[in-house]
Structure 1
């Protein structure tokens, strides 16, 4: 692949990494697609790099839901709180771009817990627990994408 092509793939991967931290774009998907396009163009052992990167990301996706679920169950936060927080977060994203997703999620989780527990302190703790779980899943996803990007970088520029 020409050097310019490698730079374009690298830019898309970087955009994907940013999309994980600032959930505007489907970050992990962009990373996988970019590495997949690179493997398609380069061929040969590039497919092995793509397979390992894809496997890492799939494993991380499973792990992030298991870890978040355990954390939330341990804190007594039901799945409905997360769903409501996510829906309000999506609305918040369109009302206040970029940070509205986070603000909407916290507000939605708090309101859902307040409706469930009828106690503002418990609702706040539930909303904070939900926010911590989301931050943890984001960290797991980012770590997997960084490892996949590092694999690509090593294969694209070292070999």
Structure 2
């Protein structure tokens, strides 16, 4: 690969953006799906290859939008069904962010679980009642993680298919 070649450089940058997006699912500081989609967008705009690159961008756009909607709607609906309020999720998110900076690597998860448990403990007044809601919230977060990673992997697969086709 000749880095003085614009096509190769754009393809490399698009790949880096997509990989960073996939890492953004694991490290929630990075905007995962927007990075993956942005990599495909840059590739489609600045490379030659005909209509296939625009078809890949269109498909990646559909996957990114659907992935984002489903990521919030499906786990959120499950939490509403079992009665976990938004304030509990907010407490989990805030303590998750604090935990991210206090305890390296696992602090985000620990803070999230602790925040949800504390909020539910305060709301319900009982340890035994707080634990099922905590489990439901952790399952919802895991489901959102899987949905977002699957959407990002689908975008990456579409991009690789576009590279092969063009």
Structure with higher Rg: it is: 2
Q: Which residue of 1 aligns with 2:19?
A: 14
Among 44, 47, 63, which residue is 1:39 paired with? Answer: 44
In 2: Cα distance, 1:11 partner to 1:60 partner? 20
Instruction: Kindly indicate whether residue 149 of structure 2 is the aligned counterpart of residue 111 of structure 1.
Output: no
**If the length of structure 1 is used for normalisation, what is the TM-score?**
0.91
RMSD over aligned Cα atoms: 1.6
Give me the TM-score of the superposition, normalised by structure 2: 0.87
2:92–2:116 contact (8 Å) kept in structure 1: yes
Task: Give ranges in structure 2 of 5+ residues lacking alignment.
Answer: 1-5
Mapped contact 2:7–2:47 kept (Cα < 8 A): no
Contact in 1 for aligned 2:34/2:64 (Cα 8 Å): no
Match of 2:135 among 98, 106, 128: 128
Q: How many residues align?
A: 159
Q: Distance in 2 between matches of 1:23 and 1:64?
A: 14
Gaps of 5+ in 1: none
For residue 4 of structure 1, report the CA deviation from its aligned partner: 4.5
CA shift, 1:2, in A, is 3.1
